[in-house]
Amino acid sequence: MPADFISSLFVFILAAFLGIELIKRVSPLLHTPLMSLTNALDAIVVVAAIIIAGRHESRFSTILGLVAVAASFSNMVGGFVITDRMLHMFKTAKAKKP
């Protein structure tokens, strides 16, 4: 078993519990923004894609990496843009009510 396996597993388990705790109390009103924000956050996989593409070890892996960079970066940008727009809508809707 690789030496860093245990520490990776450790991080993984802690992250799982942290994730549960973080989103457990999100109000139902915010579920849709939460979905699109996590969508933007999981685009952090772009980091791995950049490294694979940037290592330039073979043409095939570079092309796959570049497609992955484009796909996940579009998630990141789009996810933040739409979450921002959604929350702005909340704000204006609330301001109009009273």
Partner 1 sequence: MNPASLQQLIDFSYIAAVIGFILALKWLNSPVSAMRGVLIGEIASAVAVVATLFDPQVTHYKWIIVALIIGAGVGVPLGMVKMTAVPQRTALSHAFGAMSAALIGVAEYFVGTPHISKFQMGEIGLEVVIGSLTSRAASLPPASFRKSCRSAPSPIEGKTSSVFPPWA
Number of residues counted as binding partner 1 (CB under 8 A): 70
* 7 contacts partner 1 (rule: CB under 8 A): no
Query: Which residue in the set 3, 5, 96, 97 belongs to the binding site for partner 1 (CB under 8 A)?
Result: 5
DSSP 36-92: HHHHHHGGGGHHHHHHHHHH---HHHHHHHHHHHHHHHHHHHHHHHHHHHHHHHHHH
Query: Which residue in the set 6, 7, 13, 61 belongs to the binding site for partner 1 (CB under 8 A)?
Result: 61
Q: How many residues does the chain have?
A: 98
**Of 28, 42, 29, nearest in space to 79 by CA:** 42
* 35 contacts partner 1 (rule: CB under 8 A): yes
| Interface contacts to partner 1, rule CB under 8 A | 1-2, 5, 18-19, 22-23, 25-27, 29-30, 32-58, 60-62, 64-87, 89-91, 94
